[in-house]
Amino acid sequence: MRTLAGLTLIAVLALTIQAQDKSAPTRVDLAAYGVSGHEAAADLAESLGARLVLHELDEQSLPASCWAVRKKATPPAATALLGQALGCQSLYDPQSATLHLYRPGAVLGGSKVKGYDVSVLAGRFVEYVNSYGIARQPVKPGEEAEPERTAAEHLAGVLEEMLWDPRGAEFDASVVGDRLLYTTDESSHSRIREALDLLMAEHGGESAALKDERAAVEKLKEAKFSGELTGTPVASVLTEICAAAGLGVVLGPEFAEFACEEHIDFKPEAGSAWEALHSLLVRMREQDIRVDFTVRGDALVLESEDAGVGSGYRVYDISDLLKKLEASYQRQRTAPGKVEGYEGDLRRAGGNQVVLRSLDEQLEAAHAPGNSDCMVFGNRLIVRGGNSAVNAATQILKEMGWEEPGK
């Protein structure tokens, strides 16, 4: 009887192992060292045991050079990184064992509609407009008044800017009362939810993408790099630097073309991987190759600055700063009717635009590396950009009188 039970157990175990063999792997290596985009996609599909399906794309429309290196990535992470390297959208469906590639802006399969109740944020915006909103100029004869927008419509516009991804999904919001409706894939819904949560949070906060970038920069700062590379493609140099910090590297299609072709001698002074990376980026900047980077799934994604790969941002609560500014404008009021006098207030000065304008000017003057965009929604200010740009913005805001929460 025992023998029979033992044999049954062995048979069950064997079947289980066989079944596991057939199922999709839990970790895969992404290893595309300058191969064509189609070859890289086909290789990943093979590793995943999946079929490759191109939607409104063909072999020729994928980049000629693809550089994507990341060891032991989860299938979704590897798929997302491949999309970054190819400059298109990618989706791995384990159910049908299919790796889908879509053109940028296409609606991915499995999109769902979600309605977001933004009544609290809309209410705050109404309060802001009532307190500090710029006065409307009377419409001149023969001119048409600008169409009015509700608070929720203003919010939809800000979200579009915050979450804009030139190579990702395009999702149009519908504004119905104080709800925003989006029909998009699950990852885009997560980004919308995150943005709304950060706008709602008492003191704002940083997006997960920005936190990931900070963590990766810390790893690069902690890692030592002392390689001496001669006649090596830029892409390989970057891979070495990132590998020293245990990070993968993915080059966007525009930068990959240059980085795979250009061979350099690279002998940085012994220091951290971050210093080595910085010195390489400065060296390329001298050749007029301006590169920006972001972090996805423990891999550095580098692409030419114009492509706008960065998706991190920080939300600042500037309500206290606005109160301070209102008081300071009040203090600067003079008796009426004086040539050098001032009779205005924060509302007349532009409300939150006072902060936004100054921040834009000072960020430009600071030459903060990488792209950055600043936008406002009532008493929330958003800086979209990489780690350095956000640090620079925080410093400028502090100089304006903004205080870090909890300090």
Among 4, 135, 335, 365, binds other proteins (CB under 8 A): 135
Least distance (Å) between residue 171 CB and other proteins: 6
DSSP character string of 297-343: TTEEEEEEGGG-----EEEEE-HHHHHHHHHHHHHT---TT-TT---
User: Is residue 222 at the binding interface for other proteins, with CB under 8 A as the rule?
Assistant: no
Among positions 172, 218, 222, 306, the unique one binding other proteins when judged by CB under 8 A? 172
Complex with other proteins: residue 311 or 352, whichever CB lies closer? 352
Tracing tokens 């990489």 back to the chain, one arrives at 386
Interface residue with other proteins, options 47, 65, 89, 184 (CB under 8 A): 184
CA distance 358 to 83: 37
At a CB cut-off of 8 Å and minimum separation 6, what does 54 contact? 101
> Measured from the CB atom, is 54 or 289 closer to other proteins?
54
What is the dihedral angle through the alpha carbons of 261, 264, 269, 273, rounded to the nearest 10 degrees?
10
Give least dist CB 370 to other proteins, A.
30
Q: Would you say 48 and 25 are in contact if contact means Cβ atoms under 8 Å apart?
A: yes
Collect all residues with Cβ–Cβ distance below 8 Å to 242 and sequence separation of at least 6. 69, 220, 248, 249, 273, 277, 299, 300
Region 50-69 residues binding other proteins, contact defined as CB under 8 A: 51, 53
Number of residues that bind other proteins (CB under 8 A): 42
Could you say which of 48, 99, 151, 355 contacts other proteins (CB under 8 A)? Answer: 151
Structure tokens at 240: 């070495």
Residue numbers 88-117 binding other proteins by CB under 8 A: 95-98, 107, 109, 111-115
Nearer to other proteins, 9 or 15 (CB): 15
The token duo for 351 is 């409300």
> Cβ 45 to other proteins, closest distance in Å?
12
Chain positions contacting other proteins, by CB under 8 A: 51, 53, 95-98, 107, 109, 111-115, 119, 122-123, 126, 129-130, 133-137, 148-152, 154, 171-172, 174-179, 181-184
